[in-house]
Structure 1
């Protein structure tokens, strides 16, 4: 109850699209306002001289949470900025291959395809079923697709479409043995379910903090293993003396200190709940609605129940029903927010509760979905 009341929410609606962006708890909003108000008293001094250096404390806390050296942690504005820094900064030559999947995030695929058009690299996208038979199947599909020209593998830690968790450590270690770089898209993973860098053994990891950490909107981080920093060009120019410094990836010009300093309050809130407890709650909410609906006609749950393969983000497909029309009906008639997924390989509705979501709200979603499945959408 204390967690549910820690947010400034509109409870006349049911927000089950926390995968896009989540609300921050009141304490995070208050911290951000406090920093912003202080910045505006004399920004050339208060923001640049006082608040900006405090990013180092945030860096240390994020690094401790992720399990890396603070000198490997860059604070960014979102996962896209973090990942594109590496995608566009890793040296590649014409003909080099990048291996990814058709279910990776569209913006990241667009980044690779732009580089393909501009520099002549080759982007190869593999498919996999939803849900897959196992994590081993996912790893084997990637391993079978590797060629002598493969230089980079780009893979989601957890997909944004169905919430499928990938076996990152196996993929990374098999690729490293063949001299292949692996970039991990962790936009939906960090603070969603517990793990550390050592559980992944990755060299590059980008995430957003305004999803599952509940940090201010427009915050993220980029992890780069220390030995790799010097070989990656920053997205925006940095002086040569910063070549081996993780802060070169933060050289973006003037930006508010309030956003990144308030990350510290979000970390405190997250740690107060506890990562294991939070993940257990999110899995419970997912399975509460999914197991209620899975046996109904035409329903397919596209997300595995295995806790090694999923957490709170999940998707439901209803054969013969347009997800866009279903999503519009849920909002227009019942003020329930979910996400339509229309992919070239499948269509579904994505459901993403968060820690503030009540059991009553999940059950209301289940009630409405049962009614839709029984009566159909109104014409």
Structure 2
């Protein structure tokens, strides 16, 4: 009986420590709390099997130095690197260090889970200009959208507004959530010709479609179907106007799929005016594959009920003690269970890498290369530029129709010339290029020349 009381007391003590922020949860006994303790290393830092590059020792003002941090095949022009990231050297080194730590002592390494998750939240918050407690950790944009749309308190008769241009992940998450709640999902077109889209038209069509019953406006910052970048601030202002005079429970919230903006555009959630910002970190940010984040403003976050149990305080402690303390949005909506922690915890280095380069410089470089590419492609006979030439309405994605030819065939013929492009995964497919920090002006010119040859 005494042994049973001791075991119960130990568990509850662990729960109390957890509630206070102690980095220990559901782990076995170990001779050390963090990897590296036995050798006297700082707590929480895994023993390094390779020496990572020191960002302060790199001249990241030189774009060739930036490109040199990637292990991409130098014989290829990588205009599809945004689809799933290649890891820059600091991220690769961090993944390797964490993997080695788990292989050496998994119990000790996972004991630091809460602290290392918080380091990722802090890095993301610093980049986004928000509070760490407002950031949930996920494995992808798709997971984040599912968590948000299934966590919102939709009711029969509620109206959810989205567009025909959004990706499957948004459409399907909304369909499933609305079917369960009895809500209506409406899809509207924001433009007829993407290349001719204007900011006033884009914002105006959203504003005109908002009803008194609208509870969610679900949009994508940069459309992967066309490369159109929405004027999110103007749309957020239209949503705010529609909310004027509404009770708090009746307000519409603006949820943004930000996957093709994060790491390509320097705007932050506060600049954009959205209520919820959902993104993977493994595309334009070039973070670890299988990682993502969700940020929610306090009022919006309070309305999102967790869908997958979190293993962190207070929810886990509530289970232990019978309590009912609510969880902050960030930890409460970070799905529990063991993760690929070596990737999750290396997200910190991805944000640090972009911060060291400078988000504004990254955005300017992306825009410079995309503009060069659009200008070149727009002059080619037989090539129709789908993406707006206006830099305010596009980011790094550039989509084209090449002489009415099958986009998959064009992409294959480009690959034969060592140029890696992609096909938009939509019912109306286009050839798609992604100009980013791993491409060069010379490669942009080579891509234009190759497309010119295929269009003849």
TM-score band by shorter chain is: over 0.9
Aligned counterpart for 2:375 among listed residues 283, 291, 295: 291
Give the match for residue 214 of structure 2.
150
Shift of 1:66: 0.5
Q: Deviations over 1:290-319 (max 9, x none)?
A: 212212223221222322211221111234
CA contact (8 A) 1:83 1:205 kept: no
Query: How far apart, in 2, do the equivalents of 1:277 and 1:139 lie?
Result: 28
Query: How far apart, in 2, do the equivalents of 1:277 and 1:152 lie?
Result: 33
Query: How far apart, in 1, do the equivalents of 2:371 and 2:234 lie?
Result: 27
CA contact (8 A) 2:123 2:352 kept: no
Shift of 1:209: 0.8
Give the match for residue 306 of structure 2.
234
Change (3 A) 1:257 1:282: same
Q: Deviations over 1:313-341 (max 9, x none)?
A: 1111234212122122222x223221112
Shift of 1:342: 5.8
Query: How far apart, in 2, do the equivalents of 1:132 and 1:121 lie?
Result: 33
Moved over 6 A (4+): none
CA contact (8 A) 2:137 2:330 kept: no
Aligned counterpart for 2:420 among listed residues 323, 329, 337: 337
Query: How far apart, in 2, do the equivalents of 1:212 and 1:133 lie?
Result: 24
Query: How far apart, in 1, do the equivalents of 2:263 and 2:423 lie?
Result: 24
Give the match for residue 369 of structure 1.
451
Instruction: Name whichever of 212-221 and 115-124 sits farther off.
Output: 115-124
Give the match for residue 165 of structure 2.
103
Query: How far apart, in 2, do the equivalents of 1:251 and 1:297 lie?
Result: 51
Give the match for residue 85 of structure 2.
22
CA contact (8 A) 1:323 1:349 kept: yes
Q: Deviations over 1:248-299 (max 9, x none)?
A: 1113211132212211211221122211221221122222222122122232
Shift of 1:101: 0.5
Query: How far apart, in 1, do the equivalents of 2:382 and 2:429 lie?
Result: 13
Q: TM-score, normalised by structure 2?
A: 0.77
Instruction: Name whichever of 254-263 and 82-91 sits farther off.
Output: 254-263
Query: How far apart, in 1, do the equivalents of 2:278 and 2:253 lie?
Result: 14
Q: Is the aligned partner of 1:208 residue 2:268? A: no
Q: TM-score, normalised by structure 1?
A: 0.92
Query: How far apart, in 1, do the equivalents of 2:96 and 2:236 lie?
Result: 41
Query: How far apart, in 2, do the equivalents of 1:132 and 1:243 lie?
Result: 45
Shift of 1:91: 0.7
Give the match for residue 255 of structure 2.
183
Query: How far apart, in 2, do the equivalents of 1:265 and 1:148 lie?
Result: 44
Q: Is the aligned partner of 1:133 residue 2:205? A: no
Query: How far apart, in 2, do the equivalents of 1:307 and 1:102 lie?
Result: 22
CA contact (8 A) 1:323 1:342 kept: no
Shift of 1:145: 1.3
Query: How far apart, in 2, do the equivalents of 1:50 and 1:90 lie?
Result: 31
Give the match for residue 333 of structure 2.
249
Query: How far apart, in 2, do the equivalents of 1:309 and 1:275 lie?
Result: 18
Higher alpha-carbon Rg: 2
Q: Is the aligned partner of 1:59 residue 2:121? A: yes
**Larger RCO: 1 or 2 (CA < 8 Å, sep 6+):** 1
CA contact (8 A) 2:145 2:173 kept: no
Q: Which runs of 5+ in 2 are unaligned?
A: 1-63, 244-250, 316-323
Give the aligned length.
Answer: 371
Query: How far apart, in 2, do the equivalents of 1:264 and 1:117 lie?
Result: 37
Shift of 1:52: 4.4
CA contact (8 A) 2:369 2:435 kept: yes
Change (3 A) 1:205 1:304: same
Give the CA RMSD over aligned residues.
1.8
Where 1:188 maps in the other structure, the secondary structure is: coil
Q: Is the aligned partner of 1:5 residue 2:87? A: no
Q: Which runs of 5+ in 1 are unaligned?
A: 375-379
Where 1:205 maps in the other structure, the secondary structure is: strand
Give the match for residue 271 of structure 2.
199
